[in-house]
Structure 1
Amino acid sequence: MDASQLSIKLFLLSLLCTIIMFKSVTWSSKIHCNQKDMNTLLHFKQGVIDPSGMISSWFPKLDCCQWKGVKCDNITGRVTQLHLPCHTNQPKFVDIGEKDDKSNCLTGKFSLTFLELEFLSYLNFSNNDFKSMQYRSMSSHKCDGLSRGNPPLLSGNSTNLLYLDLSYNFDLLLDNLQWISHLSSLQYLNLGGVHLLHKEIDWLQSVTMLPSLLELHLESCQLENIYPSLHYANLTSLQVLNLADNSFLSDEFPSWLFNLSSDISQIDLSQNQIHGQLPKILPKLRSIKSLILSSNYLKGIIPNWFGQLEQLQELDLSNNFLSGPIPESLGNISSLIELILELNELNGSLPDDLGQLFNLETLLVSKNLFTGIVYDRNLLSSANLKQFSMSSPALIFDCDPEWVPPFQLILIYLGYVKEKLPSWLFTQSSLKYLHIRHSIVSFGPLDKFWNFATQLEYYNLFNNTINGDITNVLLSSKVVALSSNNLRGGMPRISPAVVVLILDNNSLSGSIYPLLCDKMTYKSNLTILSMSNTNLSGELTDCWNNWKSLIFVSLRHNNLTGKIPRSIGSLFDLRYLYLKSNKIFGEVPFSLRKCKNLRILDLSHNNISGAIPSWLGQLSFRGLQLRSNQFSGNIPTQICELRSLVVIDFESNKLSGPIPNCLRNITAMLFSYISTHTVDAILKVPGMRRLRFGTGISMLVKGNELQYHMMMNAIDLSSNNLSGNVPLEMYMLTGLQSLNLSHNQLMGTIPQEIGNMLELEEIDLSRNNFSGEIPESMSALHYLAVLNLSFNKFLGKIPLGTQLGSTNLSYIGNPDLCGLPLTKICPHEEKSHNTKLTEEECDELYSSFYMGLGIGFFMGFWGVFGTILFNRRCRHAYFRFLHQMYDYVIQKII
Structure 2
Amino acid sequence: MAVSATAIMNLFFTILLTQAPINLSYGSSTSDDVVCIESERKALLSFKQDLVDPSNRLLSWNVSNENCCKWAGIVCNNLTGHVEELQLSNIDPDYEFFWQGSLKGKINPSLLGLKHLRYLDLSHNEFGGIQIPNFIGSLVSLTHLNITDAGFQGLIPHQLGNLSSLTHLGLQGTSMAELYVENLHWLSGLSSLQHLEMGHVNLGKASDHWLQVINRLSSLSELHLSGCELSHIIPNNSVFYVNFTSLSVLDISQNNFNSFIPEWIFGMNSLVYLDLSSNTFVGPFPNRAYCWNLTSLKGLNAADNSMDSSLSIWISGLSSSLESLDLGGNALQGPLPCSNQNLTALRYLDLSGCELNSTAAISIGFLYDLVGLEYLYLRDSNLEGVISSAIQNLTSLVHLELSSNSLIGEMPTCMGNLASLVYLDLSSNSLEGEIPSFLGNLTSIVHLDLSFNSLKAKIPTALGNLKSIVKLDLSSNSIEGEIPTSLGNLCNLSYLYLGGNKFGGKVSNAFDSLLSAGCLSNSLTWLDLSENLFFGQLTDQIAEFKNVFWLSLGDNMISGPFPESLGKLTELEYLSIGGNQLNGSLPVSLGGLSNLEFLNISSNHLEGVVTELHFANLTSLGTLYASGNSVSLRVSPDWIPPFDDCAIKLESWNLGPTFPMWLKTQKYVDMDISNTQISGIIPSWLSNLTIEYLNVSHNQLSGRIPDILHIDSPYSMVYMSSNMLSGPLPRITSGLVELDLSNNSLSGDISHFLCHPLATPNNLSILHLGRNHFSGNIPDCWMHWPELEVINLDDNNLTGKIPSSVESLQSLLSLHLRNNSLSGEITPSLQNCKQLSVLDVGLNEFSGSIPTWMGTRLNLTVLILRSNKLNGQIPFELCSLTALQIMDVADNNLSGTIPRCFDKLKAMTTEQVMKEAISYSNFGGYFFEEVMVVIKGREDQYDIILPLVNGLDLSSNKLTGEIPQQLTALQGLISLNLSENFLEGRIPDSIGNMKSLESLDFSRNQLSGVIPPSLSSLTFLSYLNLSYNNLSGKIPLSTQIQSFDASSFIGNALCGPPLYNICDEDQSKPTINNEEQKADDGGEADRWFHLGIGTGFAVGFFGVVAPLLISTDWRHAYFGFFGYFWYKILYKYNCLWP
Identity, in percent, stands at: 34
1:655 to 1:122, Cα distance in 2 relative to 1, 3 A: farther
Look up the match of 2:972.
735
Q: Is the 8 A contact 1:227 1:254 kept in 2?
A: no
Shift of 1:650: 1.2
1:801 to 1:120, Cα distance in 2 relative to 1, 3 A: farther
Look up the match of 2:594.
358
For the pair 1:483 / 2:721, whether they are aligned, the reply is yes
SS at match of 2:607: strand
**Counterparts of 1:445 and 1:661, CA distance in 2:** 56
**Counterparts of 2:631 and 2:218, CA distance in 1:** 86
Q: Is the 8 A contact 2:684 2:706 kept in 1?
A: no
Q: Is the 8 A contact 2:733 2:758 kept in 1?
A: no
1:373 to 1:279, Cα distance in 2 relative to 1, 3 A: closer
Shift of 1:574: 0.9
Shift of 1:571: 0.8
For the pair 1:508 / 2:746, whether they are aligned, the reply is yes
Look up the match of 1:59.
313
Query: Map of 1:247-396 to 2, 5 A cutoff?
Result: 250=480, 252-255=481-484, 258=487, 261-272=490-501, 277-278=506-507, 280-283=509-512, 284=515, 285-286=520-521, 287-390=523-626, 394-396=630-632
Q: Which moved more, 1:564-573 or 1:742-751?
A: 742-751
Q: Is the 8 A contact 2:1003 2:1029 kept in 1?
A: yes
Q: Is the 8 A contact 1:347 1:368 kept in 2?
A: yes
Q: Is the 8 A contact 2:483 2:510 kept in 1?
A: no
1:24 to 1:479, Cα distance in 2 relative to 1, 3 A: closer
Shift of 1:290: 1.9
- Offset from partner CA, 1:443-482 (integer Å, 9 cap, x none): 767222322x3x2322222222332312655431511222
For the pair 1:456 / 2:691, whether they are aligned, the reply is yes
1:312 to 1:465, Cα distance in 2 relative to 1, 3 A: same
Q: Is the 8 A contact 1:32 1:63 kept in 2?
A: no
Residue 778 of structure 1 aligns to which amino acid in structure 2? L
Look up the match of 2:873.
634
Query: Map of 1:25-424 to 2, 5 A cutoff?
Result: 54-56=308-310, 59-60=313-314, 63=318, 68-69=327-328, 78=346, 80-85=348-353, 109=359, 111-113=362-364, 115-116=367-368, 117-126=370-379, 130=382, 133-135=384-386, 152-157=389-394, 159-160=396-397, 162-167=399-404, 169=405, 172=406, 174-178=408-412, 181=416, 183-196=418-431, 198=432, 201-205=433-437, 210-221=442-453, 223=454, 226-228=456-458, 230-233=460-463, 234-246=465-477, 250=480, 252-255=481-484, 258=487, 261-272=490-501, 277-278=506-507, 280-283=509-512, 284=515, 285-286=520-521, 287-390=523-626, 394-414=630-650, 415-424=653-662
**Counterparts of 1:614 and 1:676, CA distance in 2:** 31
Q: Which moved more, 1:468-477 or 1:21-30?
A: 21-30
For the pair 1:570 / 2:827, whether they are aligned, the reply is no
Q: Is the 8 A contact 1:675 1:735 kept in 2?
A: no
TM-score (norm 1): 0.77
Look up the match of 2:1008.
771
Query: Map of 1:850-861 to 2, 5 A cutoff?
Result: none
Shift of 1:375: 2.8
2:774 aligned residue (519, 527, 536): 536
Q: Is the 8 A contact 2:841 2:864 kept in 1?
A: yes
1:309 to 1:731, Cα distance in 2 relative to 1, 3 A: same
Shift of 1:681: 2.1
Residue 261 of structure 1 aligns to which amino acid in structure 2? L
**Counterparts of 2:638 and 2:587, CA distance in 1:** 24
For the pair 1:23 / 2:245, whether they are aligned, the reply is yes
1:359 to 1:816, Cα distance in 2 relative to 1, 3 A: same
1:698 aligned residue (920, 932, 938): 932
For the pair 1:588 / 2:856, whether they are aligned, the reply is no
**Counterparts of 1:662 and 1:598, CA distance in 2:** 22
**Counterparts of 2:553 and 2:434, CA distance in 1:** 28
SS at match of 1:437: coil
Q: Is the 8 A contact 1:483 1:502 kept in 2?
A: yes
Shift of 1:638: 0.9
Q: Is the 8 A contact 2:709 2:736 kept in 1?
A: no
Q: Is the 8 A contact 1:293 1:318 kept in 2?
A: yes
Look up the match of 2:69.
none
1:654 to 1:350, Cα distance in 2 relative to 1, 3 A: same
**Counterparts of 1:290 and 1:161, CA distance in 2:** 24
1:696 to 1:54, Cα distance in 2 relative to 1, 3 A: farther
5+ residue gaps, structure 2 = 1-164, 166-190, 195-216, 222-242, 249-267, 275-287, 293-305, 331-339, 1078-1138
SS at match of 1:440: coil
**Counterparts of 2:895 and 2:395, CA distance in 1:** 70
- Offset from partner CA, 1:215-269 (integer Å, 9 cap, x none): 4445544x3x631384433444444444555566x5x435487566243323334
Look up the match of 2:757.
519
**Counterparts of 1:821 and 1:514, CA distance in 2:** 60
Shift of 1:422: 4.8
Give the superposed CA RMSD: 3.8
**Counterparts of 2:272 and 2:509, CA distance in 1:** 57
SS at match of 1:281: helix
Look up the match of 1:469.
704
1:240 to 1:771, Cα distance in 2 relative to 1, 3 A: farther
**Counterparts of 2:622 and 2:329, CA distance in 1:** 43
Residue 981 of structure 2 aligns to which amino acid in structure 1? N
**Counterparts of 2:821 and 2:892, CA distance in 1:** 15
**Counterparts of 2:893 and 2:622, CA distance in 1:** 60
For the pair 1:796 / 2:1037, whether they are aligned, the reply is no
Q: Is the 8 A contact 1:54 1:106 kept in 2?
A: no
1:32 to 1:525, Cα distance in 2 relative to 1, 3 A: closer
Q: Is the 8 A contact 2:767 2:792 kept in 1?
A: yes
**Counterparts of 1:507 and 1:840, CA distance in 2:** 71
SS at match of 2:883: coil
Residue 370 of structure 1 aligns to which amino acid in structure 2? L
**Counterparts of 1:798 and 1:774, CA distance in 2:** 6
Q: Is the 8 A contact 2:734 2:758 kept in 1?
A: no
**Counterparts of 1:780 and 1:554, CA distance in 2:** 40
Shift of 1:658: 0.9
Q: Which moved more, 1:702-711 or 1:784-793?
A: 702-711
- Offset from partner CA, 1:816-855 (integer Å, 9 cap, x none): 322222222322333xx36x58859999xxxxxxxxxxxx
Q: Is the 8 A contact 1:159 1:182 kept in 2?
A: no
1:512 to 1:108, Cα distance in 2 relative to 1, 3 A: farther
- Offset from partner CA, 1:607-635 (integer Å, 9 cap, x none): 11111111111112111111111111111
1:726 to 1:321, Cα distance in 2 relative to 1, 3 A: same
Q: How many residues align?
A: 763
Shift of 1:82: 1.7
Choose between structure 1 and 2 for higher RCO, CA contacts under 8 A separated by at least 6 residues: 1
Look up the match of 1:645.
884
